[in-house]
Amino acid sequence: MNRTPDSFYDRGATFRDEPALARVEQAVAEGAAIIDIGGVKAGPGEEVTAEEEARRTVGFVAEVRRRFPDVIISVDTWRAEVGEAVCEAGADLLNDAWGGVDPGLAEVAARHGVGLVCTHAGGVEPRTRPHRVTYDDVMTDILDVTLGLAERAVALGVPRESVLIDPGHDFGKNTRHSLEATRRLDEMVATGWPVLVSLSNKDFVGETLDRPVKERLIGTLATTAVSAWLGAQVYRVHEVAETRQVLEMVASIAGHRAPAVARRGLA
């Protein structure tokens, strides 16, 4: 749920409450288990203060909690003061997409007993784009950062089972870095921490296929299938129904899910 007027994906379609709540209802009906709410677009743009970010998200979190008591509510924020407010309103998970730039956010998660997403963002400042970023080994850097953030969170008191790690596609990375992070995702899975991936319609998909935002679904779903095969467990997406079909198909190919029906050759 992009509670912003300038989202790269929907251009503010869910900025107002009623369209946003309708979208939550649709996402839940299509099989979403987690609703991720953000009040600041990831890319550069007009300044959004902590007060404005909270205004866009806190009341909305409370209303989603009231209408959908069983859904997991995640809030995409890097600010501890916003994290504090949304946890008081009913959030279950803090999605720190900017790699612990505010160390107080993990302390908030520990204090409220909520989950935390620990993301690799390449050390860039929030809402800035990478410029000629280099790594000796991008996956080594991803692992060093995310595992360090995860262990710190647990040491602070965040429940270990509620900590996820995210390679941070596009964040502090160029397209080749994001492709390599996908290709080597099994190295993150092997750590034992549950892996979250945020792939949906991102620039690395667009650049790989030379497609604008609204034509990136096929590339996103291909990347989703590869990530699922390599063991990712949580997917932050825009197109819920299509993603669920991909994940169910991969699970069935892997032998973890039975076909929904089995008639062929049995009549």
Residues 16-44 pLDDT 10s: 899 999 999 999 999 999 999 999 999 99
Question: Based on the number of CB atoms within 10 Å of its own CB, is 255 exposed (0-12), middle (13-18) or buried (19 or more)?
Answer: exposed
Ranges in the chain, pLDDT < 70: 8-11
- What pLDDT, on the 0 to 100 scale, is given for residue 16? 87
- What pLDDT, on the 0 to 100 scale, is given for residue 6? 74
Domain boundaries, the chain: 80-251
Segment 178-208, tens digit of pLDDT: 999 999 999 999 999 999 999 999 999 999 9
Q: How far is CA 91 from the centre of its chain?
A: 15
pTM: 0.95
119 forms beta bridges with 166
Give dist(CA 42, CA 203) in Å, integer: 12
Give dist(CA 127, CA 226) in Å, integer: 28
Using CA atoms of 144, 98, 108, 233 in order, give the dihedral in degrees to the nearest 10. -70
Q: Across the chain, which distance is largest between two alpha carbons, in Å?
A: 64
Alpha helices in 210-266 (DSSP H): 217-230, 240-253
Residue 95: enclosing H or E segment and its boundaries? strand 93-96
Q: Is 63 left (phi over 0), alpha (psi -120 to 50) or beta?
A: alpha
Residue 88: enclosing H or E segment and its boundaries? helix 80-89
- What pLDDT, on the 0 to 100 scale, is given for residue 134? 97
Residue numbers annotated as active site: 202, 236
- What pLDDT, on the 0 to 100 scale, is given for residue 113? 98
Fold type of domain 80-251: TIM Barrel (3.20.20)
SS3 state at 47: coil
* Residue recorded with tokens 């390679």: 167
